[in-house]
Amino acid sequence: MSIRNIEKIWLDGELKSNEDAVVHCATNTLHYGLGVFEGIRSYSDGENSYIFRLDEHVKRLFDSALIMNITIPYTHDEVKRAIEDTIVANNLKEAYIKPMVYLGSESLSLDTREHTVHLMVIAWSAYNYASNGAQGIKMNVSSFTRHHVNIAMTKAKANGNYMNSQLALREAKNAGVDDVFLLDSDGYVSEATGANVFMVSNGVLYTPELANCLNGLTRQTVMQLAKDAGIEVVSKRITRDELYIADEVFITGTAAEILPVCEIDNRTVGKGCVGELTQSFINDYQLMVRAKLPNYTRWNYKLNIL
Ligand SMILES: Cc1ncc(COP(=O)(O)O)c(C=O)c1O
């Protein structure tokens, strides 16, 4: 389903038709990027549909807003209901869902203290982070640096932060690779354009510490899976050459899910195919998001879709 074919969009409390769900040209967020959003996914087991880690996504939306000094005019439960209503209204059995909080069109001033705050929820049926993902993707190290912690901050999923990702991704695609690793301002690996990073070395799972990257829910999920399987998990500073010589590298995100990386900067990673641990995380994750792993069903929010 293309975005243009979406039937209903939730906008400020109402489910509107695609044509009617519009915002004003002077929408402050459109001009300067101060807004926050989430990327959430629902999955079907063939019978029922479930949103994965809905509460944690909504909590992060509120955390992002707090970081950006925006007060969301809805409660946590109202945002959950808006998300659920949008999926049901579009009858989506599996969906990518994007709630976005933005500032109104009262003025184009940089002083946003008096602006109204709005919420939209868009849901559609597909999100393909990388077309050839299952076999492993190719990545480079980007020429762009990730945001400094005291410039844009990285714990918020803030609209404007993604200009950096868009520039880096365009450069990646033009260079013929699927995605890039952005390094932080000290030169250590932070994250991909829309995903967190993991590597496996000698049976230990490593991921960059949280200082310069988003606290991804898929990152947290994989770390939990690993710990529950008795695998040692270490978050630490990681250099680009550590990635080159790792046994396995993969990236994680709601959109990306778990994507194996088979080549970095023209160097083959490990055996050049999907690593054993990576594959087992992929298998578990695909079962888990469909409520088929009994130990983790607390993360599956069941939807009322016929
Ligand atoms: C910059 C960035 N890092 C990491 C992630 C992964 O986060 P999550 O697993 O919560 O989707 C995302 C995806 O939303 C992202 O945009």
pLDDT digits (tens, 9 = 90+) for 190-221: 999 999 999 999 999 999 999 999 999 999 99
pLDDT at 36: 98
Over residues 261-280, the mean pLDDT reads 96
In three-state secondary structure terms, 96 is strand
Mutate which of 64, 213, 214, 225 for ligand 1? The one with the most ligand atoms within 8 Å of its CB, which is 214
Examine residue 300 and state whether it is found in any structural domain, yes or no: no
pLDDT at 129: 82
Give CA separation, 244 vs 176, 225, 279, in Å.
18, 24, 19
Residue 112 shares a structural domain with residue 154 = no
* Full domain range(s) for residue 141: 133-288
Examine residue 302 and state whether it is found in any structural domain, yes or no: no
User: Which phi and psi angles does 212 have, rounded to 5°?
Assistant: -120, 20
Examine residue 306 and state whether it is found in any structural domain, yes or no: no
Tokens of 34: 């101060």
Instruction: List residues with catalytic annotation.
Output: 157
Listed in sequence order, the residues at least 6 apart from 241 whose beta carbon sits closer than 8 Å to its beta carbon are: none
Examine residue 297 and state whether it is found in any structural domain, yes or no: no
Residue 38 shares a structural domain with residue 173 = no
Residue 116 shares a structural domain with residue 147 = no
Å from CA of 157 to ligand 1 middle: 8
- Is 291 exposed, middle or buried, given 0-12, 13-18 or 19+ CB atoms closer than 10 A? buried
* 113, amino acid identity: R
Residue 152 shares a structural domain with residue 61 = no
Å from CA of 38 to ligand 1 middle: 9
| Residue 277 binned pLDDT confidence (cut-offs 50, 70, 90) | very high
Å from CA of 181 to ligand 1 middle: 13
- Rounded Cα–Cα distance for residues 301 and 278 (Å): 26
5-47: pLDDT as tens digits: 899 999 999 999 999 999 999 999 999 999 999 999 999 999 9
> Atom 4 of ligand 1 has which residue's CA nearest to it?
195
Mean pLDDT, the chain, whole residue set? 96
Examine residue 92 and state whether it is found in any structural domain, yes or no: yes
